[in-house]
Structure 1
Amino acid sequence: MKFNLNSIQKKWNKDNPYDFSDLKAVFINCTLKKSPSLSHTEGLMAMSQTIMEANGVKTKIIRAVDHEIAYGVYPDMTEHGWEKDDWPSIQDKVMEANILVIGTPIWLGEKSSIATKVIERLYGFSGNLNKAGQYAYYGKAGGCLVTGNEDGIKHCSMNILYSLQHLGYTIPPQADAGWIGEAGPGPSYLDENSGGLENDFTTRNTTFMTWNLMHLARLLKDGIPAFGNIRSEWDKSDHDHPNPEYR
């Protein structure tokens, strides 16, 4: 899905002095609708994706519900009783990417059940280590986009961004954006006369989030320094307690 950018978005793309051409981004759309149903969440993600691609970032949107993703917190749940699990191939794409954006609709004030499952599966890989001996997601930037027609953007964003940083992702400034219409049943982001596409607040915040993710991923390309965060060094230390009286 391509997004028609406004004049300032196009100007920033044209005047961009930074090279992002070696970066990759994965967007995981956690809509409850299978393809080819229209996803308003994907409509908002398309704005961010279009900006990234205009600046040389290689992107991919994955609609999680289109895949058979098993429940669980292990990297491959076929090793734990499930007959099929598409998650390992998605995990490979996540690990190849410098940027991860999770998109979700709001249901009952919360992120979708699919978003919860995706984060649980990401968590299942977080104990793995990178080549420097740090946790696997170190050196990657994370953000989120939220849509709906009921309150909850900030609540969902807090949960998703906390989860990503806890797993090892680095979160840039203003790493979330979203759109909601009037409270209660009503038009969604891409619906005619919803006001979503024309909403300056949503457009600005999505644009800022996208540029902040690209800038941070550029800074993190060489990785977070491997000092003071090496799991193997911690494990082989004797864990002496400097204050034995407080044991």
Structure 2
Amino acid sequence: MKAVVLNCTLKPSPQPSNTGALADVVASYLRDDDVDVATFRLADLNLPPGVETDMGDGDDWPRVHDAILAAEILVIASPTWVGRPSSLAQRALERLDAMISETDDTGRPVAYGRVAGVVVTGNEDGAHHVIAELAGGMVDIGFTIPAQAWTYWHLGPGPGPDYLDDTKGHEWAHSTGRTMAANLVAVARALAESPLPAPS
């Protein structure tokens, strides 16, 4: 089984990424369950705006798209900015939108049979809102969202330390991430055994 993690931090490499650090915890739990995990840090890629799979010369999205199609699990990891997903998380949803019109040999949208989850970090409120926006978008595209397919780390309203600066709340975020990984794998396996039907 394979998984793809989209790290939607606004910080390009080699800057430390709080979002990437928590996403790596979930990825480690997935690997413990024999899942091969590939991570893309979107800030390091050229991703033109648009709702097509390939926006032309220099577009890095096609290789991300190919990796998602080769995987059973997708995780979108986003920081919270002004109470919302990052602009790169929104960009990812917009580029994923092209998959709605892409079908497999049975006529099903290519996202069918794939599961998705969300990781969120920030030092302000808004984690559940970010989870709802990203999960809702992925459901529209055709992904299945298992129960409790998310984890987050937030310190509450206002400025404060980042995930990498403070261990407060890590135990909860990590145990929730462990449940998230287990549920993603369980539902992915169930869908492999009993696929969703093509839309009528």
Query: How is 1:1-247 mapped onto 2 (pairs within 5 angstroms)?
Result: 23-78=1-56, 83-191=57-165, 194-196=166-168, 199-222=170-193, 224-226=195-197, 229-230=199-200
Greater than 3 Å deviation, 4+ residue runs:
none
User: What is the TM-score with the length of structure 1 in the denominator?
Assistant: 0.78
How far apart, in 1, do the equivalents of 2:82 and 2:70 lie? 33
Whether the aligned pair in 1 keeps the contact of 2:99 and 2:109 (CA below 8 Å) is no
How far apart, in 2, do the equivalents of 1:31 and 1:85 lie? 19
How far apart, in 1, do the equivalents of 2:33 and 2:62 lie? 29
Question: What RMSD, in angstroms, separates the aligned Cα atoms of the two structures?
Answer: 1.3
Whether the aligned pair in 2 keeps the contact of 1:34 and 1:66 (CA below 8 Å) is yes
Secondary structure of the equivalent of 1:221?
Answer: helix
How far apart, in 1, do the equivalents of 2:63 and 2:150 lie? 26
Secondary structure of the equivalent of 2:128?
Answer: helix
Return the index of the structure with the highest Cα Rg. Answer: 1
Secondary structure of the equivalent of 1:150?
Answer: coil
> How much does 1:199 deviate?
3.1
For residues 10-59 of structure 1, what are the alpha-carbon distances to aligned partners after superposition, in whole Å with 9 as ceiling and x for unaligned? xxxxxxxxxxxxx1000000000001110000110111111111221100
How far apart, in 1, do the equivalents of 2:138 and 2:102 lie? 15
What percent of counterpart residues are identical?
35
Indicate how the Cα distance of structure 1 residues 225 and 175 shifts in structure 2: closer, same or farther if over 3 A, else same. Answer: closer
Which amino acid in structure 2 is aligned with residue 65 of structure 1?
A
For residues 45-74 of structure 1, what are the alpha-carbon distances to aligned partners after superposition, in whole Å with 9 as ceiling and x for unaligned? 111111111221100111011000110001
Structure 2 unaligned residues grouped into runs of 5+? none
Whether the aligned pair in 2 keeps the contact of 1:148 and 1:180 (CA below 8 Å) is yes
How far apart, in 2, do the equivalents of 1:62 and 1:86 lie? 10
How far apart, in 1, do the equivalents of 2:45 and 2:173 lie? 29
How far apart, in 2, do the equivalents of 1:209 and 1:137 lie? 19
> How much does 1:75 deviate?
1.3
